[in-house]
């Protein structure tokens, strides 16, 4: 094995933490996303509209009907008509049972409105 002339050290490398979000995305979350999510969740006693077989009955978070990856990012996916309050169990059930969720309208594969506007 060929050895390099670089001396090895026992000291660990200095590493800086990665920023979890850019300044632009932090601003979007602070000014837009968090207030809307809080409004949808409300007091935490609103009923979950999905009512899947595993439903825990109360809204705990927000489900995006057209997921971020299919919408083109969180900014495009973040529209009131695309967000619905659900319990965590229903949100997971929607992800695991895509055909069931699509049939009932809880999941979209692409944005029908955007497609009709562009043609």
Residue 98 is assigned to a structural domain of this protein:
yes
Residue 84 is assigned to a structural domain of this protein:
yes
Assess contact for 65 and 112: CB atoms under 8 A.
no
- For 95, the domain range is 36-110
Q: How confident is the model at residue 119 (pLDDT cuts 50, 70, 90)?
A: very low
Among residues 26, 98, 37, 99, the alpha carbon closest in space to that of 62 is found at 37
Task: Give the number of other CB atoms < 10 A from CB of residue 70.
Answer: 14
Residue 78 is assigned to a structural domain of this protein:
yes
Residue 116 is assigned to a structural domain of this protein:
no
Residue 45 is assigned to a structural domain of this protein:
yes
Which tens digits make up the pLDDT trace of 42-61? 988 999 999 999 999 999 99
Average confidence (pLDDT) over 97-113: 86
Among residues 66, 70, 62, the alpha carbon closest in space to that of 90 is found at 62
pLDDT confidence of residue 15:
83
Sign of CA dihedral 43, 32, 25, 49: positive
CA 46 – CA 59 distance, rounded (Å):
6
- How many domains, in total, are found in the chain? 1
Sign of CA dihedral 20, 24, 29, 33: negative
Which tens digits make up the pLDDT trace of 72-102? 888 888 988 999 999 999 999 999 999 999 9
What is the pTM for the complete model shown?
0.72
Residue 93 is assigned to a structural domain of this protein:
yes
Average confidence (pLDDT) over 108-112: 74
């Amino acid at each position: 094995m060929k050895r390099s002339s670089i001396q090895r050290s026992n000291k660990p490398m200095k590493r800086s933490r990665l920023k979890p979000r850019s300044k632009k995305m932090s601003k979007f979350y602070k000014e837009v996303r968090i207030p809307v999510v809080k409004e949808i969740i409300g007091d935490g006693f609103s009923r979950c509209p999905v009512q899947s077989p595993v439903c825990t009955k109360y809204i705990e978070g927000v489900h995006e009907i057209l997921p971020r990856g299919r919408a083109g990012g969180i900014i495009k996916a973040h529209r009131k008509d695309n967000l619905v309050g659900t319990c965590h169990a229903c949100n997971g059930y929607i992800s695991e049972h895509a055909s069931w969720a699509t049939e009932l309208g809880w999941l979209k594969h692409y944005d029908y409105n955007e497609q009709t506007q562009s043609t």
